[in-house]
Structure 1
Amino acid sequence: MRRGTVDDLRIGVLMLDTPFRRLPGDIGNARTWDFPVQFRVVKGADPARVVHGEAKGLLQPFVDAALDMVAAGVRGITTSCGFLALLQREMAAALPVPVATSSLLQAPVIEAMLPAGRRVGILTFAAEALTERHLAAVGVRTDTPIEGLPPDSLFRSVYGAKGGESDIDRLEAEVVAAARRLVDKHPEVGAILCECTNLPPHAAAIAAATGLPVFDIIGFIDWFARSLAPPAYPRG
C-alpha cells in the first residue's frame, strides 16, 4: 500500500492566495463538487500578480504545489484563475498528470459546436488584462469577443482582494450587466464562456438574461474528472 496518498482523489485545485468568501458554485467552495477535490493555496499568488502581473515568477511555485498534490494521489490538476492560461504549456510539460489551467481551453470546442456564423464570447474578470498572449496560449482565436467587469465594480473589488462585502445580489447584477454588454456589442455571440472561476455562481442568471448557453470552469472540470473515473454501466 502506498503511504501518504488518498484514494479516489481525482482533481487538485491550485488556489490563488486570497482572503475573500467563495460562494457555492465557486471553484474554491468544497460544496460545489460532487467528487473528492484537494485544494492547495499557492502562497504569493495574489490576484494582482496573476491577472495584471502575468503570473511572472510563479510557474515554479505552481508546479511544486501541483507535484505535491500528485504525490498525495491527485490525478488531474486545475487552477482557480483563468488568467493562468499563460502557464498551460509549461505546466503540462512539467507534470505527470493532465492539467487544465483555465476554462479558456474550452473555447475552440465550444465554437466548433455552434451554428454557422455564431461565435463564442468570453466574459472575464478584467478585459484590459486578458491579452492575445493568454488566448494564444490555449488555442483561442485572438479576435474572440471579450467583455469584462468594470474596474470600479464590486466584483473587481471583492475578487481582486481589494476589499468590499460579498453582496450576492449586487455581484450578480454586475455580472449580468456585463454579459448583456457582451451580446449587445457582438450579436454574433452564440455562447458565453466564463474565464473567471468566481463567475459560475452566476451562470444560471447569465443564461436567463441572455438566452445563451453558458460554459464555465465547473462544467469543464466535471467533464475532466469524469474522464479520470468513467462510470461503469450495467451489461445487458
Structure 2
Amino acid sequence: MILKGGFTNYGEDIGVLMLDTVFPRPPGDIGNARSYDFPVRYKTVRGALATKIMGDHPDADLIAPFITAARELEAEGVKAITTSCGFLGPFQKEIAAAVNIPVFTSSLLQAPIIHAMLPPGKIIGVFTERAHHLNDDHFKGVGWSMKDIPVQVQGMKPDAEFPATYIGNRKELNIDVLKEEMLEMTREFMATCENPGAILFECTNMCPFASFVAKESGLPVFDVNTLIHMFYGAANPRRYL
C-alpha cells in the first residue's frame, strides 16, 4: 500500500471557519469538537464579530478574510469547508469559487432538500435568533427563495437571553434558560404555523437543543450538524463488501 502526502495533518475532513467569539460552546455546538465522532479542523477569522455578520447583509469587508481562511484550510488538507454562522449564506458563491473543495456556508442550503421531502403545502420553520434580520437575500445566497419554498422565519422575543448570550458574546451561559427559550420558540411556531412540516436551524448555536425541539414539535429538525454529517458520510462511505 502506498500513501500520498502533501499535508502536515491528516484525517480532518471538515474545516470550520469560525467567527471571532469567546462565548461558551456546549456539546452539539459547531465550535465544540466533541460534537462529532470524527476530527474537525477549526480556523478563526479574526475580526469576524457576530455583530458584523448579523443584519440584513453580512459586512462585505469580511469576504476577503473568509476567503483567505478558506484557502488556508484547503491547503491544510480538509475535504470540505463550513462556517459557524448561517448568516454567512450570502458569502456562499464567493467562498466556493475561491477553493477547489466543497463549501457549505450555511445550514440554509438544506431547505430545497427538505422541501422536496415534504408533502405539498408543508411549511419549513426557519429558526433564528433575530427574525427581522433574516431575509430572502440570505436564502438567495444559498440558491433558493422564499417565493418558491414556503418558510416561516421564527425568531426569539426581544429580551431573550439566547441572542444576548451569543450575539452579545458573553463568557457565560445558562443552559436551562436557553433550553426553555428554544422550547418557547418551538411552541410559538407550532401555534402560529398553518401547516408545519419541518424545522431548520439557521443558527449553529441552537444545535445542542435539537433533540428537545424535535420532541416538543414532533417534527424533524435540520441544522448545520445534519449537513456536516451528510457530507462526512459522502466523503467516507460505509464499506459493505
Which amino acid in structure 1 is aligned with residue 47 of structure 2? Answer: G
Counterpart selection for 1:69 from 46, 49, 73: 73
Partner of 1:79: 83
Give me the whole-angstrom Cα distance separating, in 2, the residues matched to 1:3 and 1:135.
37
Partner of 1:206: 213
Contact kept, 8 Å, 1:19 with 1:161, in 2: the verdict is no
Partner of 2:46: 43
Alignment of 1:4-43 (within 5 A): 4-43=7-46
Counterpart selection for 1:98 from 96, 102, 115: 102
Give me the whole-angstrom Cα distance separating, in 2, the residues matched to 1:201 and 1:187.
27
Q: CA 1:10–1:148 in structure 2 vs 1: closer, same or farther (change >3 Å)?
A: same
Listed one character per residue, the Cα deviations across residues 39-91 of structure 1 (whole Å, up to 9, x for unaligned) are: 11100001000112513211111111111111111110000000000101111
Contact kept, 8 Å, 2:24 with 2:171, in 1: the verdict is no
- Structure 1 residue 162 displacement after superposition: 4.4
Q: Secondary structure at the match of 1:24?
A: coil
Partner of 1:171: 178
Alignment of 1:68-147 (within 5 A): 68-143=72-147, 144-147=151-154
Quote the sequence identity (%): 44
Please, which runs of 5 or more residues in structure 2 have no aligned partner? none
Moved more, 71-80 or 5-14: 5-14
Contact kept, 8 Å, 2:128 with 2:155, in 1: the verdict is yes
- Structure 1 residue 149 displacement after superposition: 1.8
So what's the TM-score if we normalise by structure 1? Answer: 0.94
- Structure 1 residue 190 displacement after superposition: 0.6
Contact kept, 8 Å, 2:18 with 2:31, in 1: the verdict is yes
Give me the whole-angstrom Cα distance separating, in 1, the residues matched to 2:94 and 2:217.
36
Q: Secondary structure at the match of 1:40?
A: strand
- Structure 1 residue 3 displacement after superposition: 4.7
Which amino acid in structure 2 is aligned with residue 157 of structure 1? Answer: A
Pairwise CA RMSD: 1.4
Q: Secondary structure at the match of 1:184?
A: helix
Give me the whole-angstrom Cα distance separating, in 1, the residues matched to 2:84 and 2:40.
13
So what's the TM-score if we normalise by structure 2? Answer: 0.93
- Structure 1 residue 184 displacement after superposition: 1.6
Counterpart selection for 1:227 from 219, 234, 238: 234
Partner of 2:168: 161
Aligned length: 234
Partner of 1:218: 225
